[in-house]
Amino acid sequence: MNYRHAYHAGNFADVLKHTVLLALIEAMQSKPTPFCVIDTHAGSGCYALDGREAGKTGEFKDGISRLLYPDLHGSTAKAASLPPLLRRWLDSILAVPGNEDGLKVYPGSPLQAANAMRAEDSAQLCELHPEEATLLHELFRRDPRIHVHQRDGYEALSGLLPPKEKRGLVLIDPPYEAQEAEYKRIEQAIKAAMLRWPTGVYAIWYPIKLRSQVQPFLRWLSRCGAKRVLRAELMVHPDDSPLRLNGSGVVILNAPWKLDEILREPLQAMARLLSKERPAEWKLDWLLQEGAEPPAPSPLPPSRLAALRLLASHAPGPRPSSSAPPASRAPSSRAPSSRKPSSGTTSPGPTSAAPSSRPPRKGGPARPR
């Protein structure tokens, strides 16, 4: 595995993913009983935005920086009033040690979850890459709530589910170096996990380059065994190029009550603040609801569907048929067939077969020969 999240920390996809993560943890905290967060692809846990990797791509400048410093992007008026959830998330990022004088470090999912958790809650973090796992161990070595495992996160689920708390959240955030194969692994992992822990909440992040690459997975989710599946997407580019990250989404299986209402306003704000040369688009809908027929996911965002409908309304109608008689067929050089055509067909020859010389049967027509 060659993926390193340090190159992408704090980008627009992280803004969506981690806002959803905070909303889920806050929903868990609505009950006093403890819960467990399980992260299958935890990474190193924290990233320096002034380091070599983040400096090489600068992706955080078009992500979290646009929310923190909207005046640098001409978005001051748009950011005048951030939704409370988005404001709490940004405040939690700035509260991380090292950010006292501005945004210098970006906490990954494990650190953001740990900072939001209560003393009685716990986390199980899985990271396969040795160097990343070592950094993760070091980050949480003094936190008894956090347990780090250097192993494949998909395989670890069989031993970690259900957690002893019987409540919690599984975050699946793989690198998608081979997208089709990754989706198959997620499907297999979710099938097994739902058998062991059908009431758990599962949040799966996915990238969007070409819409056609993600559609089969979204269709599969409508029959994955969950009671309900909520989708949240943010698109900053059209989903028609495989060469860049055009958008991303998070699907939440067994989503907490009213999560869609909690996420709607933050998604609208993200779309306003993260727009660049074209308006960003967002989507929030139920792929599956308890007691309802699973809807077919729309393959295109609303703006593209509207454009296609507009093109269809201006398309020319069917071409009128010509009134000229068809050209006559040249006579065939083949001898006419003596076989009678079957019902519903036209005789291939220009002449019909000779009638039978046998007298008709009594009480019915003559039997064909």
pLDDT of residue 352: 42
Query: Hey, which residues does 171 pair with through a beta bridge?
Result: 39, 203
254 Rama class: left (phi>0) / alpha (psi -120 to 50) / beta: left
Residue of 14, 173, 239, 260 marked catalytic: 173
**pLDDT above 50 (res 330):** no
Q: How far apart are the first and last CA of the chain?
A: 75
Tell me how far apart the alpha carbons of residues 307 and 311 are, in angstroms, rounded to a whole number.
6
In a domain, 326, yes or no: no
Tell me how far apart the alpha carbons of residues 213 and 104 are, in angstroms, rounded to a whole number.
35
Average pLDDT, the chain: 85
Indicate the pLDDT class of residue 243, thresholds 50, 70 and 90. Answer: confident
Task: For residue 136, give both structure tokens.
Answer: 């993760």
Full residue range of the structural domain in which residue 76 is found: 5-289
Over residues 159-175, the pLDDT tens digits come to 999 999 999 999 999 99
In a domain, 128, yes or no: yes
In a domain, 316, yes or no: no
In a domain, 322, yes or no: no
Tell me how far apart the alpha carbons of residues 171 and 111 are, in angstroms, rounded to a whole number.
13
pTM assigned to the model = 0.78
In a domain, 365, yes or no: no
**pLDDT above 80 (res 70):** no
DSSP 347-360: -SSSSPPPPPSSPP
Over residues 296-328, the pLDDT tens digits come to 555 555 556 666 677 777 666 555 544 444 444
- DSSP 8-state assignment for residue 236: S
pLDDT of residue 78: 52
**What amino acid occupies position 78?**
K
Element (H, E) at 85: helix 84-94
**pLDDT above 50 (res 118):** yes
Over residues 27-64, the pLDDT tens digits come to 999 999 999 999 999 999 999 999 999 989 999 999 99
- 84-94 vs 109-116: helix axis angle to the nearest 10? 110
**pLDDT above 80 (res 368):** no
108 closest CA partner among 140, 72, 73:
140
In a domain, 19, yes or no: yes
Contact assessment for residue 158 and residue 182, using Cβ atoms and an 8 Å cutoff: no
What CATH number corresponds to the domain at position 40? 3.40.50.150
How far, in whole angstroms, is CA 211 from its chain's centroid?
9
Report the range of poorest mean pLDDT among 97-111, 215-229, 261-275, 278-292: 278-292
In a domain, 337, yes or no: no
In a domain, 62, yes or no: yes
Rounded to an integer, the average pLDDT of 74-93 is 81
High-pLDDT (> 70) share of the chain, %: 76
**pLDDT above 90 (res 89):** yes
**Residue 172 φ then ψ, to 5°:** -115, 110
Indicate the pLDDT class of residue 357, thresholds 50, 70 and 90. Answer: very low
Indicate the pLDDT class of residue 73, thresholds 50, 70 and 90. Answer: low
Tell me how far apart the alpha carbons of residues 293 and 49 are, in angstroms, rounded to a whole number.
45
CB atoms within 10 A of CB 320: 6
Q: How many domains does the chain have?
A: 1
Report the range of poorest mean pLDDT among 83-92, 96-105, 330-339, 344-353: 344-353
173 is a catalytic site residue: yes
Here the contacts of 243-247 (C-beta below 8 Å, separation 24 or greater) are 243/209, 244/209, 245/11, 245/13, 245/207, 245/208, 245/209, 246/208, 246/209, 247/13, 247/207, 247/208, 247/281
Rounded to an integer, the average pLDDT of 260-268 is 98
- 12-28 vs 84-94: helix axis angle to the nearest 10? 100
Tell me how far apart the alpha carbons of residues 194 and 171 are, in angstroms, rounded to a whole number.
14
Tell me how far apart the alpha carbons of residues 93 and 14 are, in angstroms, rounded to a whole number.
12
Rounded to an integer, the average pLDDT of 254-279 is 96
Alpha-carbon Rg of the chain, whole angstroms?
Answer: 31
